[in-house]
């Protein structure tokens, strides 16, 4: 079956889905995006992702390509036309097509592209059972990491370095030696006293929708979380480490650089939190 993409008002087979060479997303990375998980046919945390999309657009003064309800309709149509049961939707909004010039163009409509793909649940489950490794490296990104911009060069360089070193993810570190986040994930530790710790949201990190959902679930269950910065040293010497994202859910980390975390297997707290997050996905609360 051919994959179908939504491109500026049309549903097209992927091979026919094109954008203009003067799309500002292509020329300036002048755009934002969202990735929404589809689990058992259900969109996970749709409202959170749409709120963040609107916030990113607002921060960059890009007009919304359509109102929220029609966008939700297009998302469902993309899922339906691609027969997605478990997978993701990718959507990208750019400032639109205009002759190349740095200032915002006048009277240019924003461009919207949406695609969907299936994800392998068994592969993801195996990763969670074994745990993954991460490396640390300097965070060389700009000062507005709270905006989910398509300008991802530092993130892809970090992910490639992780891949080259046989790791799953790179956790980035600010000038003060504190961990910011992963190249496409949020970072968490459990300290030797069993305290769950994750960095506060600010312009320094993306406010992960999975991070927020997990925090909500933990609060509901009366589980304590410390929201504060943590150092590379704390990370490497943590009892447990895990990461969160829409596509990784809650994923245990068993190695940081050359440091084996715990006994080298996913920790019980991380696995418990993964279970809590998966229950949330199932219940759709």
Using CB under 6 A as the criterion, what x/- string covers residues 92-131 for binding ligand PMP?
Answer: ----------------------------------------
Could you tell me which stretch among 93-101, 202-210, 233-241, 264-272 binds ligand PMP (CB under 6 A)? 202-210
To the query of whether residue 165 is one of the catalytic residues in this protein, the response is no
Options 87, 131, 154, 208; binder of ligand PMP; rule CB under 6 A:
208
Eight-state DSSP code of residue 202: S
Among 19, 43, 73, smallest CA distance to 209 is for: 43
**Applying CB under 6 A, which part among 189-197, 226-234, 242-250, 264-272 lies near ligand PMP?**
242-250
Residue 204 interacts with ligand PMP (CB under 6 A): yes or no: no
In whole angstroms, the minimum distance from the beta carbon of 103 to ligand PMP comes to 28
Asked whether position 206 contacts ligand PMP by CB under 6 A, the answer is yes
Q: Which stretch binds ligand PMP (CB under 6 A): 5-13, 117-125, 131-139, 206-214?
A: 206-214
Neighbour tally for 4: CB within 10 Å: 21
Among 149, 184, 198, 204, binds ligand PMP (CB under 6 A): 184
Distance CA 74, CA 217 (A): 29
Distances in whole angstroms, Cα of residue 227 to Cα of each of 12, 169, 198, 202, 241: 44, 22, 5, 12, 15
Phi, psi of 207 (to 5 degrees): -75, 95
Q: 97 vs 235, which CB is nearer to ligand PMP?
A: 235
Phi and psi (nearest 5°) for 241? Answer: -135, 140
Closest to 5 (Cα-Cα) out of 95, 118, 90, 94: 90
User: 3-class SS at 1?
Assistant: coil
Which stretch in 1-9, 57-65, 201-209, 274-282 sits in contact with ligand PMP by CB under 6 A?
A: 201-209
Q: Rounded to 10 degrees, what is the CA torsion of 226, 228, 234, 235?
A: 90
Work out how close the CB of 45 gets to ligand PMP at its nearest, in angstroms, rounded to a whole number.
8
Please say whether the beta carbons of 56 and 148 come within 8 A: yes
Write down the catalytic residue from 42, 61, 72, 148: 148
Q: Footprint of ligand PMP on this chain (CB under 6 A)? A: 35, 155, 181, 184-186, 206, 208-211, 244-246
Catalytic residues: 148
């Amino acid at each position: 079956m051919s994959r179908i993409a939504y491109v500026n008002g049309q549903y097209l087979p992927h091979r026919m889905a094109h954008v203009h060479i003067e799309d500002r997303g292509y020329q300036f990375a002048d755009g934002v995006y969202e990735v929404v998980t589809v689990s058992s046919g259900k969109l996970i945390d749709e409202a959170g992702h749409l709120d963040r999309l609107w916030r990113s657009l607002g921060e960059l003064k890009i007009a919304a390509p359509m109102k929220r309800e029609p966008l939700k309709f297009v998302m469902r149509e993309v899922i339906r036309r691609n027969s997605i049961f478990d997978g993701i939707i990718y959507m990208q909004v750019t400032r639109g097509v205009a002759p190349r010039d740095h200032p915002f163009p006048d009277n240019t409509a924003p461009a919207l592209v949406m695609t969907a793909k299936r994800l392998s649940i068994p592969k993801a489950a195996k990763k969670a059972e074994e745990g993954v490794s991460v490396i640390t490296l300097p965070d060389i990104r700009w000062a507005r990491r709270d905006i989910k911009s398509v300008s991802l060069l530092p993130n892809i360089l970090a992910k490639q370095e992780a891949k080259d070193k046989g790791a799953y993810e790179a956790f980035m570190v600010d000038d003060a030696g504190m961990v910011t986040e992963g190249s496409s994930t949020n970072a968490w530790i459990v300290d030797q006293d069993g305290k769950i710790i994750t960095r506060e949201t600010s312009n320094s990190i993306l406010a992960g929708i999975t991070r927020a959902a997990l925090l909500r679930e933990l609060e509901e269950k009366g589980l304590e979380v410390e929201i504060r910065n943590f150092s590379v040293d704390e990370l490497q010497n943590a009892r447990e480490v895990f990461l969160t994202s829409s596509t990784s859910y809650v994923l245990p980390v068993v190695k940081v650089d050359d440091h084996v975390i715990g006994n080298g297997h996913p920790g019980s707290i991380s696995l418990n939190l993964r279970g809590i997050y998966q229950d949330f996905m199932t219940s759709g609360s």
